[in-house]
Structure 1
Amino acid sequence: MIPEYAKNSKEDIPFGQYMEQYQQMDPMECASRTGLPFDEETQCFRMRMLQKEYLISWPELIVTRADAQDETYAVLAEETPAKILALRFLLHGVSSQSTGNFLTYREVPSGEVYFRQFSGRCLSRLAYGFGFKPEKLAAAFEQLGAKKLSHGDVSYELEIINNYFVRFILWTGDEEFPPSTQMLFSDNFPLSFTPEDMAVVGDISINTLKKM
């Protein structure tokens, strides 16, 4: 099954391991590889996550909003799993552009193996969290500044991390049929993210939508 990023105190173990690597890495090499701007004077990376821009200090990993006036929920400043996802991108990610095509989770390498866990952890959670209140889902996406699409009953595209996009599609439920959802990943995702990372993308996205 997909090994989940641990919660509460157990988050300290993977977070600590990635922090050690982060503190030892060459920030200029990271900036060149990922395409993330790095300010040598302030020693900060500039990264976008879920449509918001953040400043991430090196080597301390202090996260602040780039827009200090923005008071909406900022997942990278609030949640350890989001920080771990950012760390993994800083350590292993690459700058890339999608061809414009999108992949289902099953279509990414090893996605078929872990699809059942991903479906329960992300697709079902999104469906039953918003399947009978699509207006709330749409309002949350609008508040995030996501791109509206025309698929299903509600659909939007979010930039997860710089130039990596996910499309969320909801079909509402009724007395006959339960609600259903789909998540489509821009085709550059496998260059920087594992199936585990992609499940965490679903987690932090849904958490953010619920808290908006």
Structure 2
Amino acid sequence: MNIPYEKNQKDRVPFEMYKKMFAEADAAFLSSVSGVPYEEETGLFMVTLMDKRYSVHHPDFVVECLDEDGTYAPLLTDIETKILIIRYLLESRKAAFKGGFYAYADMPWGNHYNQVFQGRCVKRLAFTFGFQMDKFCRVMESVGGKKIPVGDAGYEFAFLDDLRLQFVLWEGDEEFPPSAQILFSDNFSSAFQAEDMAAVGDISIGTLKTLAKSI
């Protein structure tokens, strides 16, 4: 399938095209290949995104958040997130997490896109939270993040099902700007293309920024 992903692709590649592909696909086959749980009786896929559980109905891609606690549910509101999830259901290949983490540049195609990823995601993370480390820690814990002994503040968390991220920050001061690192679990490359993984950075950082407003 391998349809190119772009941040503003909702204008170039309509979301309705992905919905049509999803509707025409065999749901049981998608589940068997991707490993995403599917209930044939109800027509529901089950995914967990940023510590929230969702059902995704086949064939019409109707999404419902199963954790109605009043906090931010990005899959319900954001077109970029919906495109990422529908591509995940259509294209991902199940792969177990083996415990390793890799930088974007370490992926097979990473060097071709790394400069863009650094500006679009890594620097954005650094300058969003690099001068407010306490808020970073609180917002990471609010999405189930577990502290790791890296940087001035580092957390590992589940982005989507068993696909995990590590966000690491080094605090900025009057002399030096903040810096950051984003690492992907070793099963990410079985689920997403390079362009999708840039969207993963956008979505995760955007979710944290939204949550931080209420912390």
Band the TM-score falls in, shorter-chain normalisation: over 0.9
Residue 4 of structure 1 and its aligned partner are, at CA, apart by 2.3
Uncovered stretches (5+) of structure 2, i.e. residues with no partner: none
- Could you say which residue in structure 1 is the equivalent of 2:37? 37
- Could you say which residue in structure 1 is the equivalent of 2:162? 163
Matches within 5 A, 1:187-206: 187-206=186-205
Q: Residues 38-92 of structure 1: CA distance to partner in whole angstroms, max 9, x if unpaired?
A: 1222211100111211011111111111223x22111111211111111111001
Matches within 5 A, 1:124-143: 124-143=123-142
Determine the C-alpha separation between the residues in 2 that align with 1:73 and 1:3.
24
TM-score when normalising by structure 1: 0.93
- Could you say which residue in structure 2 is the equivalent of 1:103? 102
Give the secondary-structure state (helix, strand or coil) at the position aligned to 1:94: coil
Q: Do structure 1's residue 80 and structure 2's residue 79 form an aligned pair?
A: yes
- Could you say which residue in structure 2 is the equivalent of 1:62? 62
Give the secondary-structure state (helix, strand or coil) at the position aligned to 2:21: helix
- Could you say which residue in structure 2 is the equivalent of 1:28? 28
Q: Give the partner amino acid of 2:55.
A: L
Uncovered stretches (5+) of structure 1, i.e. residues with no partner: none
Q: Residues 130-172 of structure 1: CA distance to partner in whole angstroms, max 9, x if unpaired?
A: 1100111111111111222121111111212221111000001
- Could you say which residue in structure 2 is the equivalent of 1:145? 144
Determine the C-alpha separation between the residues in 1 that align with 2:47 and 2:179.
32
Determine the C-alpha separation between the residues in 2 that align with 1:152 and 1:55.
36
TM-score when normalising by structure 2: 0.92
- Could you say which residue in structure 1 is the equivalent of 2:11? 10
Q: Residues 165-193 of structure 1: CA distance to partner in whole angstroms, max 9, x if unpaired?
A: 11000001012211000000011111121
How many residues get paired?
208
Determine the C-alpha separation between the residues in 1 that align with 2:87 and 2:146.
26
Identity %: 41
Residue 19 of structure 1 and its aligned partner are, at CA, apart by 1.1
Q: Give the partner amino acid of 2:52.
A: K
Determine the C-alpha separation between the residues in 1 that align with 2:163 and 2:99.
11
Determine the C-alpha separation between the residues in 1 that align with 2:79 and 2:110.
24
Determine the C-alpha separation between the residues in 1 that align with 2:25 and 2:208.
33
Q: Residues 97-154 of structure 1: CA distance to partner in whole angstroms, max 9, x if unpaired?
A: 1211111000002111111100000011111111100111111111111222121111
Give the secondary-structure state (helix, strand or coil) at the position aligned to 1:148: strand
- Could you say which residue in structure 1 is the equivalent of 2:46? 46
Determine the C-alpha separation between the residues in 2 that align with 1:158 and 1:14.
31
Quick check: 1:96–1:163 contact (8 Å CA) kept in 2? no
